[in-house]
Structure 1
Amino acid sequence: MSERAEAVSRPPVRPGRAAAVWGFAFAVPSFAWAMGSLVGASSTLAPALVELARDRDPGFIALLWVTAVLKVVGGLLGLALAHPRARGRGVERLLQLMGWGAGVLLVWHGVEFIGHGLLVETHVIGVDPDLRSVSRWYTYLWGPWFVAGGVAFILAARIHLNRVADRRDARTAGVVGGFGALVLSATALIAGMG
């Protein structure tokens, strides 16, 4: 087989690698803040969160460690979606469930940040003047960052699905993951936790 034909027959891995880089890069600040550094925190995070980090609140520090580890798991998920291996049906379904779940959750979260921020920027809703600059960080940095990560995971899961032998079961797992993430996000928003 020629190099060109081989390159055409190989599925693209860029979205999976992008999801991996996104997860690993996003873990760095969480690890840093969990270990006591506050670099970048005061200008990009809500003051209440910075205060919890500064006070070394045990519950918040534990949460930072958990989120840092979950972001590394997300990076590993991106790599798993990008690089095909001989895996069992259960693993392929789990990768679809997690890939679509992560993608939908991240896109939802990012759109929520952007939407809220734009409502603040256009003065549709008010915000404490001290929180205006932080709101801009959420609108123009964190929101798009979450959307980009979510899109990378969705594309990686979609490409991965094309390489799975039993697409029907894997597709069902992906739908469950995506829909489950959507329900979880909507429930959190309605409950005031989103």
Structure 2
Amino acid sequence: MVWTLLFAFMSFYWAAGGMMGVKSLGGQIYQMAMDRDPEFIPVVWATGVVKLGGLLLLFCLMRSGNPRTKLSRWLAYSSMSAGILMILYGVGNFITISLAAIHVLDFDLEPYAIRSRLLFWEPFWIVGGIFYVLAGYGKNST
């Protein structure tokens, strides 16, 4: 839940105009944030709200009581599915950005953003995905 709150907070911070860490995203996202693109800012707010949806899922999973009920199993499988998607997203981005780093793919990412994405952002997604899988698995196996 802490990981999810931190992740949502980043989106809300950037949507509200905070710029710390934005350069690490690189490319088009960085440029739209710098320009305070009026079409992009609502997307960043919405991203934060969606991330809070993960917090709601985890809270419901934690409070769902007997792990043998349909609701509890559905919440556990939803958590594991969300985690798997986050892991796949992080791994997929890690692979494509790595390929861009060795000039196999041509992305509009400066070296700072490539390093940040490979050393922080993509592992952050993967770790978060692992947390969600473990939360669902833990609830489902009890």
The interval holding the TM-score normalised by the smaller chain is: 0.7 to 0.9
Return the alpha-carbon distance in structure 2 between the equivalents of residues 25 and 138 of structure 1: 17
TM alignment of 1:12-161, pairs within 5 A? 20-42=1-23, 44-85=24-65, 89-127=69-107, 131-161=110-140
Q: Matches of 1:61 and 1:68 in 2, distance apart?
A: 11
Residues in 2 aligned to 1:52 and 1:141: alpha-carbon distance in whole angstroms: 21
CA apart distance, 1:92:
2.1
Count of residues paired in the alignment: 142
The residue aligned with 1:9 is: none
Larger Rg: 1
Instruction: Give percent identity, aligned residues only.
Output: 31
Counterpart of 2:100, as a letter, is: V
- Unaligned runs of 5+ residues in structure 2 are none
Are the equivalent residues in 2 in contact too, given 1:113–1:142 (CA < 8 A)?
no
Structure 1 residue runs of 4 or more that deviate by more than 6 Å after TM superposition: none
Cα contact 2:61–2:75 (8 A) shared by 1: yes
Question: CA separation in 1, counterparts of 2:89 and 2:42?
Answer: 21
Shift of 1:56: 2.9
Instruction: Identify unmatched segments of 5+ residues in structure 1.
Output: 1-19, 164-194
> Which stretch shifts more, 93-102 or 28-37?
93-102
Cα shift at 1:89: 4.2
Does the Cα contact within 8 Å between 1:22 and 1:75 map onto a contact in 2? no
155 and 87 in structure 1: CA distance in 2 versus 1, 3 angstrom threshold: closer
Which SS does the other structure have where 1:37 is aligned?
coil
Question: Displacement of 1:146 after TM fit?
Answer: 0.5
Farther-moved stretch of structure 1 (64-73 vs 116-125):
116-125
CA distance in 2 between partners of 1:74 and 1:59 (Å): 24
Please report how far the alpha carbon of residue 83 of structure 1 lies from its aligned counterpart in structure 2 after TM superposition: 4.5
Distance 1:82 1:75 in 2: 10
What is the TM-score normalised by the length of structure 1?
A: 0.63
Q: List per-residue Cα deviations over 1:98-146 (Å, max 9, x = no partner).
A: 2022101100011012212322334443445x62221221111111100
Output the aligned Cα RMSD: 2.4
Aligned-pair CA distance for 1:53: 2.3
3-state DSSP of counterpart to 1:59: coil
